[in-house]
Structure 1
Amino acid sequence: MTTTDPFAGGTRRVAVVTGGSRGIGRAVSRRLADDGLAVVVNYVGDDAAAAETVGAITASGGQAVAVRADVADETAVAALFDRAETEYGGVDVVVNCAARLALSPIAELDLDVLDRLHRTNIRGAFVVAQQAARRLRAGGALVGFSTSVVGTQFPGYGAYVASKGAVEAITLILARELRGRDVTVNAVAPGPTATELFLDGKTEEQVEALAKAPPLERLGSPEDIADVVAFLAGPRGRWVNGQVLRANGGLV
């Protein structure tokens, strides 16, 4: 049987990165561009951040375009993938970084906040996974995002962890549903990572304590996580499928 190697020369591979304009998403967008992929940088509201991310990629010789879409809106997400196909000819990598974070004891959480968080983190993850399952080309990869707090079970993270547990639950199922397509499905579960989303609302003492928790005694950087995503999306990660990779410096 003869097959075509999707990683061998020729057509540029294409990535869609949701939440790709800031934080880990920006680092992922830039890393994939450095690896030679054309990147569709999805964002929901910050035009300036999206333009800055695209500008950084193109200034370094890469290809990128910014596309606004709410990941929980199936019509908008379908249009996002349409744009990727129109602009660059197809989709090879999908990285779903878009997420909300709300910290509160379960007994005190405003249920409207819960609904908004789960709309983005669960419905959004499902909508993006649907489009990825329908459109990824052979040799493709879907990388979702969970959190290492699914394991550490820190108080105050109940709503967020519930939403990320859903991401972990569908990862292996979708990998199995895509049998025969030569498409991998994995999730990355970062530990404490120095992003605006993580640092917001925390005291210096809290941040210092979290930085000391892993054996490596530091916070992760967005680039640390982007390196893991690049591995899963590239040729060296093809035998990893249906897995949740905890990128957290040894935090348990």
Structure 2
Amino acid sequence: MSNNTNKAAIVTGASRGIGRAIALRLARDGFDITVHYVGNEAKAQDTVAAVEALGCRAIAVQGDVAQPADVARLFDTAQDAFGRVDVVVNSAGMMPMAAISPDNLDAFDKVIATNLRGTFLVLGEAARRLQEGGRIVAISTSVIAKSFPGYGPYIASKAGAEELVRVLANEMRGRGITVNAVAPGPVGTELFFNGKTAQQIEGIAKLAPLERIGEPDEIANAVAFLTGPDGAWVNAQVLRVNGGFA
């Protein structure tokens, strides 16, 4: 059972999809989990219950990663609950489809706020709070290499996030904290399936040499590697987990 010697992790966007899978995998590795969510409290509580069923403690904290006060409260609540924060995984994100056009500036602003400003705030707060041996992981995307039409705002936000990871790794010099990103290819989540036809999904699956859509657990396994003992010498890297998609 969980006890006060457990390490503790914050996973943003952990109510469903890749974030939920990461939360559960880290719980299997013995971490107490702070489940961050934006709006779906019921799903977040489901993740909490699933973590507790694995023998670890968990809490759910609502907030907007684009708002400094919400991010600070997230970390405060996690530290109050578990006495420490050892790992931070920023998985919160959004993926609206929008062509590069002045008509889509609102969509651009929203995705930049969540995916890029949110990464800046979560990583910055993690840098302020983590101690020697801490691990920071941001979730990016392998679609950066494809430049598909309609993905401009999303790709711009994630490309920026990857560069923040590399810079922060250098800013952590001398503190023993690693900072990395995991860039999934197409993964079978609600975010991915939304708005796509069966034919589109099949076509995307064929793009990778492995000719399938990834599973959330496969992304979570990569995060577990980076946050576990085997990943201690990996730093300032983007790990593309995509079946050869890009």
TM-score normalised by length of structure 2:
0.96
1:1-252 matches, within 5 Å, as 11-107=5-101, 110-252=104-246
User: For the Cα contact (< 8 Å) 2:141–2:185, is it kept in 1?
Assistant: yes
Q: Indicate if the aligned counterparts of 2:98 and 2:107 stay in contact, CA closer than 8 A.
A: no
CA distance in 2, matches of 1:30, 1:189: 19
Structure 1, unaligned runs of 5 or more: 1-9
The one-letter code sitting in structure 2 at the alignment partner of 1:105 is: A
Q: What residue identity is the alignment partner of 2:190? A: E
What CA deviation, in whole Å up to 9, does each residue of 1:7-41 have, x standing for no partner? xxx82111000001110000000000010000000
Amino acid at match of 2:241: A
> What is the percentage of aligned positions where both structures have the same residue?
54
Residue 16 of structure 2 aligns with an amino acid whose one-letter code is R
What is the CA RMSD across the aligned residues, in angstroms? 1.3
CA-CA distance at 1:92 after TM superposition: 0.4
Q: Secondary structure at the match of 1:180?
A: coil
Question: Cα distance, 1:155 vs. partner?
Answer: 1.6
Query: For 2:190 and 2:66, how far apart are their aligned partners in 1?
Result: 22
Tell me, what secondary structure is at the counterpart of 1:129?
helix
The Cα shift of 1:108 comes to 7.0
Change in Cα spacing, 1:199 to 1:109, as seen in structure 2 (3 Å) is farther
Aligned residues: 244
Partner Cα separation in structure 2 for residue 109 and residue 169 of structure 1: 27
Q: Unaligned regions of 5+ residues in structure 2, if any?
A: none
Structure 1 residue 109 displacement after superposition: 5.2
Rounded Cα–Cα distance in structure 2 between residues aligned with 1:114 and 1:108: 9
Which digits, 9 at most, give the CA deviation of each residue in 1:177-227, with x for residues without a partner? 000111000001100000000000001011001111111111000000000
* AA partner of residue 233 (structure 1): T
User: Structure 1 residues 109 and 157, CA, compared in 2 at 3 Å: closer, same or farther?
Assistant: farther
Q: Distance in 2 between matches of 1:109 and 1:95?
A: 33
